Chains A and B, each alone.
Chain A
Amino acid sequence: MTRRIVIDPVTRIEGHAKITIHFDDDGRLADARFHVTEFRGFEKFCEGRPFWEMPGITARVCGICPVSHLMASAKAGDEILAVEIPPSADKLRRLMNLAQIVQSHALSFFHMSAPDLLLGFDADPATRNLFGLVAAEPDLARRGIRLRQFGQEIIEHLGGKKIHPDWAVPGGVGKPLTPESRAAIAAKVDEAKTTAIIALERFKPLLDVYADERDNFGDFPSLFLGLVGPDGAWENYGGKLRFVDHDGTIVADQIPASEYRDHIAEVVQPDSYLKSPYYRPRGPVDGVYRVGPLARLNVCSHFGVPLADRELAEYRDRGGRTPSSSFWYHYARLIEILAGVEMIERLLDDPDLLDHHPRSHAQVNRLEGVGVSEAPRGTLFHHYRVDRDGILQNVNLIIATGQNNLAMNRTMLQIARRWIPDFRPVPEGVLNRLEAGIRSFDPCLSCSTHAVGTMPLIVQLVASDGTTLSEVRRD
């Protein structure tokens, strides 16, 4: 008789999901699957609305990464206006996007994953959470809360709200930074930097403490995708797309966002509302790629800020040029926090941030625009088609988390193989390891299942023995 174990709901992640572990007639592990259980069909109701509304609307797609949608949407809008935005707008958007990365990464590490990493995967589930961390490590927990607050306050200074600001617009941003806000942010930079360094030093020994988890939390070769600058430097807002292979070989480089469809295609899973993008030239099996902190560090050459570059060198000493285990997402995320704080500090000295003309004005000059940005959890695409009046005819979003879907499923199977090779009662801590495997990717599911577009598709019907029964394609 076939049996299955269901983890419902997956906790300490953003959004609604389940994990199932399947066993065959003899009780041996057959498969482990990650299921996203929500669907909202967002893009369809945007059709017929003016593209000017999209930054404000799409910010509300997601409560964790509203700023990422704001950026990708405003950039798609810039393309439709066919204008160059003022240098001040570019820098102000960068400032907000860096703040977004810092706050979201702090949330992922301190609020979501530190309970596993610092209290233990097998710790009592009743206290294996932020409040348990507050009790066990009050200073560190408070620092983590304040680090997230640092990022959220920058967003509020710029956009007037911590969550769902509608500040970036096609052509630029609504208003510049004030001198008072700049001073308030600057006063908190040192504490944020210190917290990032403390967290990094706490994490590094865990690579050995949790060697088993390190080697089984999604450790496999894959491609990696992220934005890089013209010189290969780490990017989050500008730059172009780069794919690298598992050994760091550059597979495709300096690809403009508008050409994303030549490189990315998508497959539908019958048991999840989340679709699965893959690297088109290699197909859905060999074309698995990862996005997010691990991928961004693997595709870039350097950060260009001193403390983070020193950490990146140590990271590569420890893990090689392109670490392949998803456990390393945590490490990469902490280095990105440090880099983000350093970049914020450097940006604050720029007088352009106070410039009173941070917006270019124009009407519709192109009927299509693609905007891309790095959300905390990976590369985010907004693709709009409009008519002459700027009314949306078609909307397509490719969300960061979806692009990790194939890798997350592979991670589930690897963890299950290590800890649950056959059907038996398992301790809670084992099931928590499956969830922790998902947490390392820091998925954002309310975002990911909004995507309803005209992506190229391959739909496969696969039998229980893995053979493909039928396949339909739309290129």
Chain B
Amino acid sequence: MDRLRLATVWLGGCSGCHMSFLDLDEYLITLAEVADIVYCPIIDAKEYPRDVDVALVEGAVANEENREMLLRVRERTKFLIAFGDCAGAGNVTAMRNPLGDPESVLARSYVDTAEPPSSPPVAAGIVPILLPRVLPIHRVVNVDLFLQGCPPSAPRIRNVLEQIVAGRRPPFDDMVVRFG
């Protein structure tokens, strides 16, 4: 069997799901024996590659770059997992939504607290523009599996990965559907 091409991606979030991924500890070494980690914040890949078998996507869609990245990931990935509660439900990242458009949130930081008012950072192509509302990833692309949790614990991540490595689709049970 070909080696599994595995990717992990972070969008708008706290990186806690990736830290939980690192809590796989020595299983990471076992995993690397059967899978190539082709894209991940802890490796030096700058471009999301083609023909990825499985991607764990942490975080919600908060800005234009998150959205473009997610569309690229979907296009180039066979099995896309919403990794954690921000990806699956918006969670903490989406808590700015009830405050209205992002201008009001940005204004608090860069306008209200400056006398006289300043303006939010603008640098074309460098600082991405915030989306009007933070979205869970299934509002932008199709998702193949939701692995909930804030974060999903390492044993629950391992459960999913082991089944995928064994060529099975993880069942829809309380090992994947558990919030918080």
- Contact among A8, A39, A61, A134 for B106, CB-based, below 8 A: A39
Centre residue among A6, A61, A131, A446 by max chain B CB count within 10 A: A131
Query: Are A162 and B42 in contact, with the CB atoms below 8 A?
Result: no
A20 to B127, CA, bound (A): 12
Closest to A450 in B: B14
A256 contacts partner chain B, Cβ-Cβ < 8 Å: no
A453 to B108, CA, bound (A): 7
Query: Are A273 and B127 in contact, with the CB atoms below 8 A?
Result: yes
A63 contacts partner chain B, Cβ-Cβ < 8 Å: yes
A41 to chain B, nearest CB (A): 4
Count residues of B near A (Cβ-Cβ below 8 Å): 56
Closest to A275 in B: B109
Query: Are A60 and B41 in contact, with the CB atoms below 8 A?
Result: no
Residues of A within 8 A of B125 (CB): 6
Residues of A within 8 A of B166 (CB): none
Q: Which of B110-147 contact A (CB under 8 A)?
A: 110, 113-116, 118, 121-123, 125-128, 130
B12 contacts partner chain A, Cβ-Cβ < 8 Å: yes
Residues of B within 8 A of A39 (CB): 63, 105-106, 109, 130
Closest to B98 in A: A45
Residues of B within 8 A of A20 (CB): 126
Count residues of A near B (Cβ-Cβ below 8 Å): 71
Query: Are B116 and A163 in contact, with the CB atoms below 8 A?
Result: no
Residues of A within 8 A of B154 (CB): 162
Query: Are B22 and A270 in contact, with the CB atoms below 8 A?
Result: no
B172 to chain A, nearest CB (A): 24
Query: Are B45 and A41 in contact, with the CB atoms below 8 A?
Result: no
- Contact among A63, A142, A269, A275 for B15, CB-based, below 8 A: A63
Query: Are A145 and B95 in contact, with the CB atoms below 8 A?
Result: no
Residues of B within 8 A of A129 (CB): 37, 42-44
A474 contacts partner chain B, Cβ-Cβ < 8 Å: yes
Q: Which of B2-37 contact A (CB under 8 A)?
A: 10, 12-20, 22-23, 25-26, 28-29, 32, 37
Query: Are B42 and A11 in contact, with the CB atoms below 8 A?
Result: yes
Residues of A within 8 A of B113 (CB): 453-455, 457, 474
B53 contacts partner chain A, Cβ-Cβ < 8 Å: no
A340 to B43, CA, bound (A): 28
Query: Are B123 and A271 in contact, with the CB atoms below 8 A?
Result: yes
- Contact among B25, B32, B43, B114 for A11, CB-based, below 8 A: B43
A35 contacts partner chain B, Cβ-Cβ < 8 Å: yes
Residues of B within 8 A of A40 (CB): 12, 62, 93, 96
A66 contacts partner chain B, Cβ-Cβ < 8 Å: yes
Closest to B105 in A: A41
A129-B43, A131-B43, A271-B126 known; A148-B114 Cβ under 8 A: no
A245 contacts partner chain B, Cβ-Cβ < 8 Å: no
A53 to chain B, nearest CB (A): 12
A39 to B125, CA, bound (A): 16
A366 contacts partner chain B, Cβ-Cβ < 8 Å: no
Q: Which of A261-281 contact B (CB under 8 A)?
A: 268-273, 275
Query: Are B44 and A163 in contact, with the CB atoms below 8 A?
Result: no
B88 contacts partner chain A, Cβ-Cβ < 8 Å: no
Q: Which of A200-245 contact B (CB under 8 A)?
A: none
Residues of B within 8 A of A41 (CB): 96, 99, 102, 105-106, 108-109
Closest to B29 in A: A134
A6 to B127, CA, bound (A): 12
A39-B106, A146-B25 known; A164-B151 Cβ under 8 A: yes
A62-B16, A149-B25, A164-B150 known; A45-B96 Cβ under 8 A: yes
Residues of B within 8 A of A432 (CB): 44
Residues of A within 8 A of B92 (CB): 42, 57, 60-61
B46 contacts partner chain A, Cβ-Cβ < 8 Å: yes
- Contact among B25, B123, B128 for A270, CB-based, below 8 A: B123
Residues of B within 8 A of A120 (CB): none
A42 to B105, CA, bound (A): 9
Fill in one digit per residue for A147-171: 1 if any B CB lies within 8 Å of its CB, else 0: 0110010000000011110000000
- Contact among A45, A111, A126 for B42, CB-based, below 8 A: A111
Closest to B32 in A: A131
Query: Are A148 and B123 in contact, with the CB atoms below 8 A?
Result: no
Residues of A within 8 A of B130 (CB): 39
A45 to B42, CA, bound (A): 31
A134 to B32, CA, bound (A): 9
A273 to chain B, nearest CB (A): 6
Residues of A within 8 A of B128 (CB): 37
A12 contacts partner chain B, Cβ-Cβ < 8 Å: yes
Closest to B28 in A: A145
Query: Are A452 and B46 in contact, with the CB atoms below 8 A?
Result: no
Fill in one digit per residue for B77-117: 1 if any A CB lies within 8 Å of its CB, else 0: 00000000000000011011011001001101110011110
- Contact among A14, A138, A148, A162 for B20, CB-based, below 8 A: A162
- Contact among A42, A64, A268, A474 for B115, CB-based, below 8 A: A474
A20-B126, A162-B154, A472-B118 known; A44-B46 Cβ under 8 A: no
A9-B46, A45-B95, A148-B22 known; A452-B15 Cβ under 8 A: no
Q: Which 8 A-B pairs have the closest CB atoms?
A: A63-B16, A41-B105, A271-B123, A63-B15, A474-B115, A129-B43, A125-B44, A63-B19
A42-B95, A273-B127, A452-B109 known, 19 other contacts, Cβ within 8 Å: A6-B126, A12-B44, A13-B41, A37-B63, A39-B106, A41-B109, A44-B99, A57-B92, A60-B16, A60-B92, A131-B37, A146-B26, A163-B23, A163-B151, A164-B150, A268-B121, A270-B122, A272-B121, A453-B109
